[in-house]
A and B are shown apart, each in its own frame.
Chain A
């Protein structure tokens, strides 16, 4: 699952997946700006058929580890 999230994250941002690490953040990855972040959230919602709360979407804009953790929690809560 981790790898699938990384792949989708990179695809949506149009960057190489190898460059995405847990500590990757909007500050370190220029492409990850606020507009692209909402595109990411919408893309993940569509791909996995889940709804991310707006508060969660805001929290996810920290680093890739946080993005992944919150998204996985959201997936888990759906089950």
Chain B
């Protein structure tokens, strides 16, 4: 079972960046009727989200977040030992974007830098990696970058995804600290269901061709090409409402945590209706479950840290208390983690033009 307890790792800061350009779900998406747009916004709570222009990648957003974070916590790039970049929208198919970020951030060439090809669970899997590098590898400081520009994966008239997915990038600094409390992380994987949320063509199993790039009505009735992201909405809802809830529930039981013991439940910002259902099932009061989905949408691997950064920056630029975080999605992959944070630096969310 991929459940581990990491003692002596501290989260010292989290920062986020989004593109300046916003999409308004009520006034844009003219392929959908006004009535439908209103209903979708009321259901999903995504009133708007940020969309990166062609020249901005997830790495650019993460870079901006990382520079702000390092300067805010008073650390120099040379003090970083590892860069872990969780994303499903890297700069290139080859090489790993984390290496390019090592150079752009002006970190030493002695860092270990690699990508994790994970989406909505990417932050939790990234935390697992970062903690492992510190505890198992003896590193002092790991920069966890977590971000996606998912709008680039979507066909602009696929209403299953285009009302939900937005772009964002984040940076989280994890440091060795003997005095820090435990970070407990559990990660789950079911690759048997990967086809419920995936891009069918464009990889090496099924390379992109003129035929796969052609936008047409797909077997499920949706309009898109096979190079675009496909989501089986009901299966993903079912997965989130059952597997994810069960995992969080059993995790909380094992860790002897009740909603009373937790100050902040940071859920992957999937969609408003689904997250409300999950929080209700877990018996969390709304005031303990921060949302950013209203204005950033579902930002994939960025959604948890972006929500943390936004929430803590609103509370005076520092975060405190017990956090429970859960990411779930592409893979299918899901995970849950808990940690007590104390004075996490969180600057206001940056906007990139």
**Chain A interface (Cβ within 8 Å of chain B)?**
14, 30, 33-35, 37-39, 42, 51, 53-55, 57-58, 61
Q: A35 to B234: give the CA distance in the assembly, Å.
A: 8
**A61 partner residues in chain B, CB cutoff 8 A:** 234
Q: A30 to B220: give the CA distance in the assembly, Å.
A: 10
A12 to B: closest C-beta gap in Å: 8
The reply to whether B35 and A33 form a contact with Cβ atoms under 8 Å apart is: no
Q: Is the interface of A mostly helix, strand, loop or mixed?
A: helix
The reply to whether A54 and B241 form a contact with Cβ atoms under 8 Å apart is: yes
The reply to whether B233 and A34 form a contact with Cβ atoms under 8 Å apart is: yes
Count A-B pairs with CB separation below 8 Å.
Answer: 53
8 pairs of A and B residues whose beta carbons are closest in the complex:
A54-B241, A34-B233, A34-B234, A58-B238, A54-B277, A39-B39, A61-B234, A39-B43
Is B132 an interface residue, CB under 8 A from the partner? no
**CB-nearest residue of chain A to B222:** A33
**Chain B interface (Cβ within 8 Å of chain A)?**
35, 39-40, 42-43, 159-160, 163, 220-221, 232-234, 237-238, 240-242, 245, 273-274, 277-278, 280-281
Which single member of B35, B280, B281 contacts A14 (CB below 8 Å)? B35
Q: A38 to B45: give the CA distance in the assembly, Å.
A: 13
Q: A39 to B42: give the CA distance in the assembly, Å.
A: 9
The reply to whether B221 and A54 form a contact with Cβ atoms under 8 Å apart is: no
Residues A58 and B237 in contact in the complex (CB < 8 Å), given A14-B35, A42-B43, A51-B280: yes
A34 to B: closest C-beta gap in Å: 3
Q: A39 to B234: give the CA distance in the assembly, Å.
A: 12
Q: A37 to B238: give the CA distance in the assembly, Å.
A: 13
**B42 partner residues in chain A, CB cutoff 8 A:** 42
The reply to whether A54 and B242 form a contact with Cβ atoms under 8 Å apart is: yes
Q: A34 to B222: give the CA distance in the assembly, Å.
A: 11
The reply to whether B273 and A37 form a contact with Cβ atoms under 8 Å apart is: no
Q: A61 to B238: give the CA distance in the assembly, Å.
A: 11
Residues A34 and B39 in contact in the complex (CB < 8 Å), given A54-B245, A58-B238, A58-B241: no
The reply to whether B234 and A37 form a contact with Cβ atoms under 8 Å apart is: yes
B223 to A: closest C-beta gap in Å: 12
**A33 partner residues in chain B, CB cutoff 8 A:** 160, 220-221, 233
**A54 partner residues in chain B, CB cutoff 8 A:** 237-238, 240-242, 245, 274, 277-278, 281
The reply to whether B160 and A34 form a contact with Cβ atoms under 8 Å apart is: yes
Q: A35 to B221: give the CA distance in the assembly, Å.
A: 13
**A34 partner residues in chain B, CB cutoff 8 A:** 160, 232-234, 237
The reply to whether B237 and A35 form a contact with Cβ atoms under 8 Å apart is: no
Q: Which of A34, A42, A54 has the most CB of B within 10 A?
A: A54
Q: A55 to B274: give the CA distance in the assembly, Å.
A: 12
A50 to B: closest C-beta gap in Å: 13
B332 to A: closest C-beta gap in Å: 15
**B40 partner residues in chain A, CB cutoff 8 A:** 35, 39
**B245 partner residues in chain A, CB cutoff 8 A:** 54
Q: A26 to B233: give the CA distance in the assembly, Å.
A: 13
